[in-house]
Structure 1
């Protein structure tokens, strides 16, 4: 017919041998880099943020994600009372706290 003879390609490697390892190696290296560049630092930041939120106490001066600066007056499980100016108190979620400021920052 059209093809006079067909030749099959032979491989000397056994299935699951070095060829499989060499094919999987780039994926393992990429996952390792992804873990150390993106996942691990994010987990570290989350752990530090959680510790900061748990350590809040009355009288701490904080900054929120919305840009409010104030002094903590009440502490609840998921909300805190925040005095922002002249006795005005608002409630914000604990997770909205971005930073605990040094004492005396807000005057």
Structure 2
């Protein structure tokens, strides 16, 4: 490979490195943190669903979570639809 060919590919390589550190890596960190949060859900935790509903975890199961929306309503929610946990600190 000649010096000229390397000089032609250098901007492309630099662009990929910048793309990786600004977009791909932070997204991977966010996905890892969300997966850890889902794994650590326990009875009594307050969560927000992707639909914006605030609920309390009744029973975490393998693929689903039983949640209480109000005093009378208990439903099953797919783990993928939990947006975040509400920390009551």
Q: TM-score band (shorter)?
A: over 0.9
Shift of 1:67: 1.0
> What TM-score comes out, normalization by structure 1 length?
0.79
Secondary structure of 1:87's counterpart equals coil
The match for 1:33 among 18, 24, 29 is 18
Shift of 1:75: 1.3
More helix by share: 2
Task: Answer with 1 or 2: which has the greater Rg.
Answer: 1
Secondary structure of 1:85's counterpart equals coil
Instruction: Give ranges in structure 2 of 5+ residues lacking alignment.
Output: none
Is 1:96–2:72 an aligned residue pair?
no
1:1-107 matches, cutoff 5 A:
16-103=1-88
Contact 1:63–1:100 (Cα < 8 Å) also in 2: yes
> Structure 1 residue runs of 4+, over 6 Å off?
none
1:3 maps to none
> What TM-score comes out, normalization by structure 2 length?
0.94
Shift of 1:103: 3.5
Instruction: Give ranges in structure 1 of 5+ residues lacking alignment.
Output: 1-15
